[in-house]
């Protein structure tokens, strides 16, 4: 059923980044992988019209610190959207579980307690091979996916809010 047939208001804006300000929090831990995520993220942002000068990148020690960086980017830079990029690879201890769970919880908390969308762009992988495949290998690049999600959320919220 089309929008006109149902009478529903449909919010589905195009992925247009022109004029958007984007904050990117990137984890240094597993920087090799995060670098590939960041590269794909910025490539998609540029491809959809986000100017380099409208992007702020904040490097932090690891994925656990991403929620704090996201909150501070929102407060200091006033971006339209923040993207959190990281890569957590399972090791021999339970550290992986704690970092993955708490970074996800923290990012969700920042997103839900503010008005700025915060995008979860963290690759969680059981093996280095899985990380390679999700950071530009055979399963694509989650950094580019995060950029597209950011554009969609920023523009959707503009329409919802009537901006």
> Could you report the per-residue pLDDT of 102-153, keeping only the tens digit for each?
999 999 999 999 999 999 999 999 999 999 999 998 888 999 999 999 999 9
Q: Count Cβ atoms below 10 Å from residue 160 Cβ, excluding itself.
A: 11
Give 5's pLDDT tier (boundaries 50, 70, 90). Answer: low
Q: Residue 1: what pLDDT?
A: 44
Contact (CB, 8 A) for 47 and 127:
no
The residues carrying an active-site annotation are 95
- DSSP helix/strand/coil, 22: strand
Distance CA 82, CA 59 (A): 13
State yes or no: pLDDT of 163 exceeds 70: no
State yes or no: pLDDT of 84 exceeds 80: yes
Distance CA 13, CA 72 (A): 28
For tokens 């990012």, the residue is 107
Distance CA 19, CA 123 (A): 28
Q: Residue 7: what pLDDT?
A: 86
For CA atoms 66, 24, 30, 105, give the dihedral sign. Answer: positive
Distance CA 38, CA 30 (A): 12
Helix, strand, coil tally for the chain in percent (to 5) = 50, 20, 25
Count of alpha carbons within 13 Å of 154, Cβ hemisphere only? Answer: 26
Q: Is 41 exposed, middle or buried (0-12, 13-18, 19+ CB in 10 A)?
A: buried
Contact (CB, 8 A) for 25 and 85:
yes
- DSSP helix/strand/coil, 61: coil
């Amino acid at each position: 059923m089309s929008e006109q047939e149902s009478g529903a208001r449909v919010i589905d804006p195009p992925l247009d980044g022109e004029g958007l300000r984007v904050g990117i929090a990137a984890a240094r831990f597993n920087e090799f992988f995060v670098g590939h995520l960041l590269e794909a993220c910025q490539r998609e942002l540029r491809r959809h019209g986000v100017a380099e000068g409208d992007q702020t990148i904040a490097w932090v020690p690891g994925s656990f610190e991403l929620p704090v960086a996201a909150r501070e980017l929102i407060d200091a830079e006033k971006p339209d959207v923040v993207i959190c990029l990281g890569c957590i690879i399972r090791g021999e201890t339970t550290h992986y579980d704690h970092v993955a769970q708490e970074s996800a919880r923290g990012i969700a908390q920042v997103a839900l307690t503010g008005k700025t969308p915060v995008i979860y762009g963290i690759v969680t992988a059981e093996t280095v091979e899985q990380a390679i495949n999700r950071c530009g290998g055979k399963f694509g690049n989650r950094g580019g996916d995060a950029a597209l999600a950011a554009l969609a959320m920023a523009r959707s919220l503009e329409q919802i809010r009537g901006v």
